[in-house]
Amino acid sequence: MSTPKQRRRLKSKIVGLSLFLLPLPLLLKATFSLWSGDAGDLVATGGSWLLFLAAAILCRRGMQAELNEAERPIASRRATTLKTAGGVLVAVATMLTALFAVGHGLPIALAFGLIAGIGYFLLYAREGAAGQIQKRNLGVEGDEAGRLLREAYRRLDVIETASRQIASGEFKQRLGNIVVGVEKILRLVADDPGDLRRARKFLTVYLDGVQRVTEEYARTHANAGSPELEHNFRTLLVDMENTCDEQYRKMLEHDVSDLEVRMEVLSARLRQEGVV
């Protein structure tokens, strides 16, 4: 049975693929222009196709970000920014195609670009609007809690990306447990920004340290590492898993006294890795 996160990840691989198919006639026309030696038509059709391709990539990344952030308690501007940039490129690419590849006059080309832009935003920009409004009602955007939450979620995204480059199934599982544990802590902070005091050090020091160590391990020892390096990385992940559980439990109890011991263990581990 797949988890909601696995289903979202599968859907994120599918969304937006149609945008890559729609401008294929331009690619075919550019290919024929190359074959016939028509340089002007090749530049017009090939350039337009490249613009549509860039727009499709931006839109797809925006929709993927939107799916990945669907259950997060705070809105992110990344998805909206990417999708908006994709829409602008779609409008520009359509206008240039009509003007140079088809041969319409400027007024008609502008009309085609405007219609394409409106169609794009009706299809792709409206989907996340309701969710963004709901997230704003949490009242954590714009203050320190909102800033730290966004930064923490960015670090989790980096950890998940790096974990997919690591061959070890055990390490993937432990990193997944850490991501789930941190997300539980972040939801507590979002529900009550007053919990930020109890979670600040965890989010700004330890999560950052684990992110950097994971990135470095994935970059240099993703497929095979020395037994000592694997042992050190495994120990760090175990310490972080335990610290996540302890942090969450103590935040629920509004008690951080015993957590300091666990924090010191993780600090020592990160110092050993040269992070803090």
Burial class (CB in 10 A: 0-12, 13-18, 19+), 234: middle
Number of Cβ within 10 Å of residue 38's Cβ equals: 15
Sequence letter at residue 6: Q
74/270 Cα distance (integer angstroms): 29
Domain boundaries, the chain: 4-134, 139-272
**DSSP code, position 143:** S
Residues 224-236 pLDDT 10s:
667 888 888 899 9
Residues 147-180 pLDDT 10s:
888 899 989 989 988 998 888 899 999 999 999 9
Instruction: Spell out the per-residue pLDDT of the chain, length 276, in tens.
Output: 555 666 666 666 676 788 888 899 999 999 998 888 889 999 999 999 999 999 999 988 888 788 777 777 776 677 888 889 999 999 999 999 999 988 999 999 999 999 999 999 888 865 554 444 344 444 444 467 788 888 999 899 899 889 988 888 999 999 999 999 999 999 888 887 777 777 888 888 889 989 999 998 988 876 666 788 888 889 999 999 999 998 888 888 765 555 555 666 667 777 776 655
CB 171 within 8 A of CB 234: yes
CB 196 within 8 A of CB 145: yes
Terminal-to-terminal C-alpha distance of the chain: 40
Number of Cβ within 10 Å of residue 211's Cβ equals: 20
